[in-house]
Structure 1
C-alpha cells in the first residue's frame, strides 16, 4: 500500500496535475466519489512558474479549495526543488504548501501517471496496432513521444499494480540499415550521443526531417512537428514522408526492446498527442515489422499487442485512480511526499 499516511489515503479535495514540457493539465477531485472538475489546458510558457499558474489558471476559477495535490511532472523527482527537463518551471513542494495552502503534496514522474492510466482508462480508449490478446495480469510498458520521450513499466504484484518510472527515453539509439547509416550522421547529438529523445519526440521528428534533407541534399521546408506530420500523412513532401517512416520504425524498435525487457504480455501502450496523430503511420506494416524484428524471439514478439491510448486526459485519469483507490496500486512516496508542518 502506498505510504500516503497511516491510513494510506489522501485528504480531499485533491488537485491532480500532469505537467509536461509544453502543456500542463489540471483537475480537482472534490471527494472520493464526485466527478473531477476539469480546467483548460495551461501552456507552461504563459506563466513564469507553476505556483502562479495554479493561482491564476486553476484556484482563481473555483470555490473548491484542494487540501492535497498529486502532481506528475516530466523530470526525475529528486530533492525539494525539481526542475522540469523541457521547460523552465521548478517545482518546490514546500513553497507550494506555504503559498497555496495545501496540507500535503505528492510528486510523481509523468510516466508513472501514464502507467496508472493504463489501468484506469479501460479498453474504450485504446486503438490496437497488431499482436494477440493482452494478458490482463501481465506486465505492461508505456512510452510516449511528446515534448520529450517518456517511458514507464507497470507490473502486477499480488493484488496491486506497481508503476516503474524511469528515464528510458534517454537510452542510446543507433543505425541499423544502410539508409540509417546515411541519415544518422546528420542527426543532432547531445555530447556525442543520439538518444531516443533526440529522435522520438516533437523536436526529434524535426531533427530527423533535417537529417534526411541534408543526406539527400534537399531543402527542408518545414520547421514544426505538426507541419512535417501533416505533409507526411498527406504524402505531399517526400522528405517529410521518409522522416515519419524513420520515426515510426525507430519507435517500433524501441517499443520492442522495452517489451522484451518487461516481457510485456499485457501490452505496449503508446500515449501522448503525437501517437494519437500518427495512428495511420503506425498502422503501416513497418512499425510492427520493426517491433517484431527481435531474433531469436520474433515469434514471441508477434503475439505481444501494441495499443495507442486515445484518452485526452489519460495521466489525470491515472492520478485520479491513485487518489481515489490507493489500495489498487503500490507507489513508494518516500522522498516524494511533503506535508505542512
Structure 2
C-alpha cells in the first residue's frame, strides 16, 4: 500500500487539555516529537499549530490531526474545549497541501496494529483471537472508545461516543455514594465518572459519605494522595478501577472484542500500582449470563505515552489499510 500523503506529515494528538505535535518525515518512518502545548493557550487550532510550525526549518506538507471530539466529514469540534476544526481552512491557513481529521480514539485504535509488548501491561490475560476485534477505551479529560477490525492487511476503524452513555450503580459501595455523584450532574454518564473530573467526583462523594472534610484537589492530587495511603483518595481510586473494569467489560460485550480490550490515556498508567488484578478480572468478566464469552476477553493497559502518535504515523504510511482513504474525509488546500 502506498500513502497518498505528501511528506513531511504533521501528526497531532489534540485533547481537551493538551496538544502533542510530531513530524513524520517519510512514509513508514517513526514520528519525531516537536512540541507539547496547552489547548487553552491559543484561541484557535490554526494559531496553536502555527506557533510551533513557525519555528521549523522545514514545514510539513500534509497533516493528520487526531481530535478529541465527534467528526463531521472534514470538520470537528473538541468536546471539552472550544476549538473548531475545518480541514480545508486549516490547509490554507498553514500552507498545507492536504490532510485528514480523525477522532483521537481512531488514532489509538490504529496504534493497536503497531504497538509492541513493551508498550503494554496485561491485567487480565483472557483468550484473545489473532483476528478478533480489538477495542481501545480510556479516561482522560473525557472518555473515548474505538474499535479496530483487521482482516489480513486491511482493516476498519470504528470511532464511538461511548463516553456519553448513561450509567448507574451496581455494587453496594456505588449505591451508597451514587446520590453524591449524581447530585452535581444533570445526567450521570461514563465520561462524567471515568475522567479526570470523575476521579475528583469520586473523591468528593467518598469524603461526603464518610463525613470527612474534602480538600480542594485535582485528579493528579487524588492519585498522589491515594499512592500515599490517604483513605478517601484510596477508596476513590478503588471505586474508579471497579467502574472502569465494569464499563470495559460491558463495551467488550457490545463489540464482541475477542481480540482484546486496551485501556489508554494518561490517568490509568499512574493508577497501576493501586490496581487489584483479581478484583478487576472478577468485575471485567462478571457478565451473567455471558460469562463464557466474557472470559475470552483480555484486558491491557497501554503504558507508552505516544500511542496516538504511533497510530497517526501508521495512518500516514497507509491510510487505506484502515479505510481512511475516503475522499469524503480527505481535504486539500
Normalised-by-shorter TM-score class? over 0.9
Structural RMSD (CA): 1.9
Whole-Å Cα distance in 2 between the matches of residues 276 and 333 of structure 1? Answer: 34
Q: Any stretches of 5+ residues in structure 2 without a counterpart?
A: none
2:332 to 332, 336, 339: 339
Q: In the alignment, which residue of structure 1 is the partner of 2:311?
A: 318
Q: Any stretches of 5+ residues in structure 1 without a counterpart?
A: 2-6
Whole-Å Cα distance in 2 between the matches of residues 95 and 38 of structure 1? Answer: 24
Q: Secondary structure at the match of 1:40?
A: strand
Number of equivalences: 333
Give the 3 Å change call, closer, same or farther, for CA 35–141 of structure 1 in structure 2.
closer
Contact 1:188 1:198 in 2 (8 A): no
Q: In the alignment, which residue of structure 2 is the partner of 1:12?
A: 7
- Determine whether 1:137 maps to 2:143: no
Give the 3 Å change call, closer, same or farther, for CA 334–286 of structure 1 in structure 2.
farther
Whole-Å Cα distance in 1 between the matches of residues 254 and 196 of structure 2? Answer: 25
Q: In the alignment, which residue of structure 2 is the partner of 1:97?
A: 91
Shift of 1:98: 1.4
Contact 2:225 2:233 in 1 (8 A): yes
- Determine whether 1:161 maps to 2:161: no
Shift of 1:175: 0.7
Shift of 1:189: 6.1
Contact 1:143 1:152 in 2 (8 A): yes
Give the 3 Å change call, closer, same or farther, for CA 156–81 of structure 1 in structure 2.
closer
Contact 2:131 2:151 in 1 (8 A): no
- Determine whether 1:49 maps to 2:44: yes
Whole-Å Cα distance in 2 between the matches of residues 257 and 147 of structure 1? Answer: 21
TM-score by length of 1: 0.92
- Determine whether 1:68 maps to 2:55: no
TM-score by length of 2: 0.94
- Determine whether 1:184 maps to 2:193: no
Whole-Å Cα distance in 2 between the matches of residues 307 and 184 of structure 1? Answer: 28
Whole-Å Cα distance in 2 between the matches of residues 192 and 199 of structure 1? Answer: 13
Contact 1:77 1:336 in 2 (8 A): no
